[in-house]
């Protein structure tokens, strides 16, 4: 898929592979799936080919995924496992119980997300209990840390998204000192909150 999580995960894996680390990627994708973002060929992509991203997985499918994850993890023998998003972390955590593999939960949303979900209080509590089993929890901003329960905060490390260096000048066909532009890209949804961004810029933009 083309998305923020996929982009960040691919960037991180490529960097690890470039450093000589052995990297594996585990997804639900079918065997013929291809990566949207360029991926280092040294990365081992393990495709479970179980389920469709557009459909909610039933309990039978979830159990088959758990067995497959455990089998693949035993074969790959990772030193550490990173679960991107709470749902993926929980699936990995339950599948790998008893194997003694340290796990990192990479949270990619603000904890305020649960305030806008149906049954958000229940989802928040379940997620917090699962995160308590993580060796470390990564969040994107330092301001997110106080929004987690006190028993999780010592496990939290804030790591902002990287900004890769440009391979070529940003305006190759423009003047040497082009006008500065601010570009925002994101879907029109409550989670991205584009309306808030527009109101903020309206307050500071010249009239």
Domain spans in the chain, listed from the N-terminal domain onward = 4-169
Q: What is the pLDDT of residue 207?
A: 59
pTM comes to 0.81
Report residue 16 as tokens: 């690890």
pLDDT at 172 > cutoff 70? no
Q: Which residue has the higher pLDDT, 191 or 158?
A: 158
Res 127 pLDDT > 70: yes
Spatial strand order of the sheet with 81-84 comes to 81-84, 103-106, 136-139, 156-158
The SS3 call for residue 95 is helix
Given CATH 3.50.50.60, say whether it is the number of domain 4-169.
Answer: no
Reply yes or no on whether the pLDDT at 170 is more than 70.
no
pLDDT in tens, 19-54: 999 999 999 889 999 999 999 999 999 999 887 767
User: Which pLDDT score, from 0 to 100, does residue 46 have?
Assistant: 95
């Amino acid at each position: 898929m083309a998305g923020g999580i996929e982009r960040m995960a691919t960037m991180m894996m490529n960097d690890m592979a470039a450093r000589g680390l052995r990297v594996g990627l585990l997804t639900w994708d079918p065997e013929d799936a291809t990566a949207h973002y360029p991926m280092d060929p040294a990365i081992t992509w393990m495709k479970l080919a179980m389920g469709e991203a557009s459909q909610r997985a039933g309990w039978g499918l979830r159990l088959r995924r758990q067995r497959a994850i455990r089998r693949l993890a035993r074969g790959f023998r990772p030193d550490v496992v990173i679960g991107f998003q709470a749902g993926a972390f929980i699936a990995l955590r339950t599948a790998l119980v008893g194997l003694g593999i340290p796990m990192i939960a990479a949270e990619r949303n603000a904890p305020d997300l649960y305030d806008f979900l149906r049954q958000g209080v229940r989802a928040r509590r379940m997620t917090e209990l699962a995160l308590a089993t993580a060796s470390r929890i990564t969040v994107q901003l330092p301001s997110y840390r106080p929004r987690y329960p006190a028993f999780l905060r010592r496990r939290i490390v804030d790591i902002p998204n990287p900004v890769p260096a440009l391979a070529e000048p940003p305006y190759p066909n423009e003047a040497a000192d082009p006008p500065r532009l601010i570009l925002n890209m994101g879907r029109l949804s409550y989670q991205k909150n584009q309306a808030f961004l527009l109101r903020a810029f309206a307050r500071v933009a010249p009239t």
